[in-house]
Structure 1
Amino acid sequence: MGELYRLPNPKDTEREASDWIARMNADDVTPDDRARFEAWLRAHPCNVKAYADLKATWNELVKTGPLVRAVYFGQAMNAATTRQAQSSRWLAGVLAATVAAVVLSTVWSFYKQQADTRFQTAVGEQVAVTLPDGSSFNLNTNSRVDVDYSPGSRVIYLERGEAYFNVAHDAGRPFWVHAGDRWVRAVGTAFNVYLRPAGVQVTVSEGTVKVVDAGGGKLPPSDASYAKSAAAVTAGEQADARGSADVIRALNTAELNRSLAWRQKSLYFHDEPLGNVVNELMRYTPLTIEVVDDSLRELPVGGTFQTSPEGAEALLKMLEDGFGARIRRPGADHVYIEAVTE
């Protein structure tokens, strides 16, 4: 499945980032402090962004007034050599801590409300991400999402590709996914969203979701507006949203399993036209594969293939050995599938 990502709790990130701002600007910062700080940064992308935003604000604060440093009060007092200096530096420390607390609090409020966390995968890569409330999603090949998570909202923007969501139940905080021209709303369920060139495909494995026309909006619709036009998709159903229409159909167990098989790094096909099989496998390889002949494009194909470049190569070998097709490679990244003519 690739790397496992866990989104930190925003409150914990706020506290840790503030602590590191203070520690790294202290007079007695040590090599061990720096090593632990670097390890904290590497622990999660959220830490890097949070610290960078806070550090930028801190630098602006330093530029606009006398040099203030985030130091412990005791250190400021011990460093003073006279009573007057001691008093002066203690007051500076109080001022620094007070101003920094106000500024950092403001920045973090803005950060938690506005900043999105982006996750994306390369061709053939898959990752899993866990949110602080226990909700999670698996991101398929060549996909990208922006996560807007806060105590008041759970919103995922699927900008490209495909993701499977497992949503922790929270009736007071609906889980929204924006993909193409649709919003998908869930409270506690499991479902798959695939953003395709032809539209949005939603497959539900547990519970019920509501599919709503986004109407060009980037904010989730209100409860009143979505309730009027939402299409309900329940477990075992799949919705194809194209333009103004939502076509919902029931899947049998085998069809449902095939639709979600990519999470086990496999693709299953049963008498599927070769053109469709090629289009799916191309998502997992840098190769461009073209089926030259119409008769081959409609050829029914079945089998199990890996969600990787090896899977595409296995298909090409099967066509060449089992169906007598000609596989022509004019370059390293292009393949033509041709029928053999006598």
Structure 2
Amino acid sequence: MTDQRKTEEEAAHWLCLRQEPGWREADQQHLDDWLAERVANKMAYWRLSYWWQQADRIVAVGDTAFADPRGTTRTGAPPWTAFAIAASIAMMFAFVGFHALHDRYPGGAGGSFAQQRIETRVGGRKIVPLDDGSRIELNTATLLRAAVTAERREVWLDRGEAYFEVRHSDKVPFTVHAGLRTITVLGTKFSVRRDGGNITVSVVEGRVRIDEAGGEGAEVPSTTITRGNIAKIEGPSTYVATKASDLVADTLAWRGGMLSFEQSTLGDVVAEFNRYNQRKMVISDAEAASIRVGGNFSVSNVDGFTRFLHNTFGLEVQATADEIRISS
């Protein structure tokens, strides 16, 4: 499948979902994130949206005048004209949408390959067993979809972070789609975090392969990492840290309700805390943001963390109902 067709099918999938009555604000945010990833996503979505709108407008043809072969002017187009054109566009859209859904979920939405949608709120965590014996643990503010059966094992990480314990299978690989990357394993323990187009993969056990989407006939870059390795993907670049077992453990501290840092800047630490809490911390000046912080902290004990900042570094902390402001 070419990269262009894949993008068009994803656009058709989104446009189909957008017409459903259960569309929510969270779904719109995810669509916005997908559109922001690449210009190609926007172009494909806009093209399909245009034709969908044209199908709606064709009904208006019935309000215009036309001349019949006998020279008599009549009001309203022949019913078959509007419906035939509308049906043609609808069939074109349905064809693209059907193949988009069928390629991802053979058997249809109600068939044996139906998606399982799983989501956590800010500060929430959830453990979900899958039909193949694998298990997914979702971190805060995470949304993913899973299609896991005896014949197929695929997960789409739409946002957030998840830890995977994958039951080994020699025949059916387990694939996680995260933005423009796919992470493929046969059986292992690893985590994937997605922040827009930036992806972090941490391996606890086994081996995973990270692929970049590419067109047919193109050489597709691939990166393989093993136990104790971390891969950070930023746009087209992939960085790998090897022999980083301690760092892997720190990135997975959230599974125990903790955050672990080793001489990170306060700006980075605060950004991490804010993923788990509705009331956000705000740093007022660059001097405070550059302070280096290390230690283990509870994800929900923001008051304890700010007391630590005040007592250890002498920082000023002003708390309101809406935010916590930190300054030198």
What's the CA shift string for 1:97-140, capped at 9, x where partnerless? xxxxxxxxxx9875235521111111111110111221111000
Residue 259 of structure 2 is matched in structure 1 by 267
The question of whether the paired residues in 1 share the 8 Å contact of 2:276 and 2:299 is answered with yes
Aligned CA distance change for structure 1 residues 292 and 183 (closer, same or farther; 3 Å): same
Residue 118 of structure 2 is matched in structure 1 by 119
Correspondence for 2:250 among 246, 258, 271: 258
Helix, strand or coil at the partner of 2:271:
helix
- Determine if the alignment matches structure 1 residue 243 to structure 2 residue 232: no
Q: Distance in 1 between matches of 2:243 and 2:316?
A: 35
Give unmatched runs, 5+ long, in structure 2: 1-105
Q: Distance in 1 between matches of 2:154 and 2:194?
A: 16
Q: Distance in 2 between matches of 1:125 and 1:280?
A: 14
The question of whether the paired residues in 2 share the 8 Å contact of 1:282 and 1:312 is answered with no
Amino acid at match of 1:159: D
Q: Distance in 2 between matches of 1:207 and 1:177?
A: 15
- Determine if the alignment matches structure 1 residue 176 to structure 2 residue 166: no
For residue 297 of structure 1, report the CA deviation from its aligned partner.
0.9
- Aligned pairs for 1:34-113 (under 5 A) are 111-113=110-112
Residue 307 of structure 2 is matched in structure 1 by 317
Q: Distance in 2 between matches of 1:197 and 1:328?
A: 31
- Aligned pairs for 1:14-33 (under 5 A) are none
What's the CA shift string for 1:137-168, capped at 9, x where partnerless? 10001101111123321111111100000111
Q: Distance in 2 between matches of 1:191 and 1:225?
A: 30
- Determine if the alignment matches structure 1 residue 164 to structure 2 residue 163: yes
Helix, strand or coil at the partner of 1:278:
helix
Aligned CA distance change for structure 1 residues 327 and 304 (closer, same or farther; 3 Å): same
Q: Distance in 1 between matches of 2:214 and 2:299?
A: 34
Amino acid at match of 1:318: F
Helix, strand or coil at the partner of 2:111:
helix
Q: Distance in 1 between matches of 2:175 and 2:219?
A: 14
- Determine if the alignment matches structure 1 residue 334 to structure 2 residue 323: yes
Aligned CA distance change for structure 1 residues 230 and 284 (closer, same or farther; 3 Å): same
Q: Distance in 1 between matches of 2:136 and 2:302?
A: 25
Q: Distance in 2 between matches of 1:159 and 1:290?
A: 27
Q: Provide the TM-score with structure 1 as the length reference.
A: 0.61
Give unmatched runs, 5+ long, in structure 1: 1-106, 217-223
Q: Distance in 2 between matches of 1:225 and 1:249?
A: 30
For residue 320 of structure 1, report the CA deviation from its aligned partner.
1.7
Q: Distance in 2 between matches of 1:226 and 1:187?
A: 25
Amino acid at match of 2:210: V
The question of whether the paired residues in 1 share the 8 Å contact of 2:107 and 2:113 is answered with no
Q: Distance in 2 between matches of 1:225 and 1:261?
A: 41
The question of whether the paired residues in 1 share the 8 Å contact of 2:109 and 2:115 is answered with no
For residue 251 of structure 1, report the CA deviation from its aligned partner.
4.2
The question of whether the paired residues in 1 share the 8 Å contact of 2:230 and 2:244 is answered with no
Q: Distance in 1 between matches of 2:213 and 2:134?
A: 23
Helix, strand or coil at the partner of 1:281:
helix
- Determine if the alignment matches structure 1 residue 300 to structure 2 residue 292: yes
What's the CA shift string for 1:171-201, capped at 9, x where partnerless? 2111010112211001111111000246000
Stretch deviating more after TM superposition (195-204 or 133-142): 195-204
Residue 269 of structure 2 is matched in structure 1 by 277
- Aligned pairs for 1:223-238 (under 5 A) are 228-238=220-230
Aligned CA distance change for structure 1 residues 297 and 158 (closer, same or farther; 3 Å): same
Amino acid at match of 1:134: G
Residue 91 of structure 2 is matched in structure 1 by none
Aligned CA distance change for structure 1 residues 225 and 332 (closer, same or farther; 3 Å): farther
Amino acid at match of 1:336: R
Q: Distance in 2 between matches of 1:229 and 1:195?
A: 19
Aligned CA distance change for structure 1 residues 193 and 115 (closer, same or farther; 3 Å): same
Residue 23 of structure 1 is matched in structure 2 by none
Amino acid at match of 1:190: K
Aligned CA distance change for structure 1 residues 226 and 258 (closer, same or farther; 3 Å): farther
Q: Distance in 1 between matches of 2:226 and 2:219?
A: 16
Q: Distance in 1 between matches of 2:160 and 2:292?
A: 25
Q: Distance in 2 between matches of 1:109 and 1:254?
A: 43
Q: Provide the TM-score with structure 2 as the length reference.
A: 0.63
- Determine if the alignment matches structure 1 residue 155 to structure 2 residue 154: yes
Percent identity over the alignment is 32
Residue 136 of structure 1 is matched in structure 2 by 135
Amino acid at match of 1:276: D
Rg comparison, structure with higher value: 1
For residue 249 of structure 1, report the CA deviation from its aligned partner.
1.1
CA-based RMSD of the aligned residues comes to 2.3
What's the CA shift string for 1:14-57, capped at 9, x where partnerless? xxxxxxxxxxxxxxxxxxxxxxxxxxxxxxxxxxxxxxxxxxxx
Aligned CA distance change for structure 1 residues 290 and 300 (closer, same or farther; 3 Å): same
Amino acid at match of 2:241: R
For residue 203 of structure 1, report the CA deviation from its aligned partner.
0.6
Q: Distance in 2 between matches of 1:226 and 1:185?
A: 19
Helix, strand or coil at the partner of 2:269:
helix
Aligned CA distance change for structure 1 residues 227 and 149 (closer, same or farther; 3 Å): farther
Q: Distance in 1 between matches of 2:269 and 2:108?
A: 47
